[in-house]
Amino acid sequence: MTKNSNNVSIPAKILEPVRKFLEEELKKLNQTKKSIDNADPFKDEERDNENSLEDDVDEQIGHLDTEVKSKFLQKQIIQFRKALTRLKVGKYGVCEECGKMIDTDRLAVRPETTLCIDCAKDKE
């Protein structure tokens, strides 16, 4: 085992734009989530409780829809935060499950990933 075996081989000049990308995307995700959460009809305090059955159904559907989108975005946000944290501690590009380097092609497509393709398959 060499002294440098645990060092991430991704150079800083490549990591810097990745960090910027992740931060930008995270900002966008947070904004999108906020606007989706605000669109939830259940959040509407002026909501008429005497409305018709059709309106109630519409609201239920609207609520479920926003809930699904919001949950999906929340997962994305966590994933991006995780990738950023790993970047900051110098573990970016290293699989959090097995510790192997993540394929750079995979990172190019999904820069927020923290799992190598094999470990991601096991989880899906």
Name residues whose C-beta falls within 8 Å of residue 8's C-beta, 6 or more positions apart in sequence.
Answer: 90, 91, 92, 93, 94, 101
Binding piece for Zn ion, criterion CB under 5 A, among 5-13, 33-41, 72-80, 112-120? 112-120
Closest CA to 31 of 67, 73, 66: 73
Closer CB to Zn ion, 10 or 26, in the complex: 10
Cα–Cα distance measured from residue 83 to residue 35, given in angstroms and rounded to the nearest whole number = 24
116 lines the binding site for Zn ion (CB under 5 A): yes
Binding piece for Zn ion, criterion CB under 5 A, among 51-59, 69-77, 84-92, 95-103? 95-103
98 lines the binding site for Zn ion (CB under 5 A): yes
Binding piece for Zn ion, criterion CB under 5 A, among 13-21, 25-33, 42-50, 96-104? 96-104
29 lines the binding site for Zn ion (CB under 5 A): no
119 lines the binding site for Zn ion (CB under 5 A): yes
Cα–Cα distance measured from residue 92 to residue 22, given in angstroms and rounded to the nearest whole number = 12
68 lines the binding site for Zn ion (CB under 5 A): no
Amino acid at 24: E
97 lines the binding site for Zn ion (CB under 5 A): yes
94 lines the binding site for Zn ion (CB under 5 A): no
Closest CA to 107 of 26, 18, 27: 18
Q: Map residue 46 onto helix, strand or coil.
A: coil
Could you list the residues that contact Zn ion (CB under 5 A)?
Answer: 95, 97-98, 116, 119
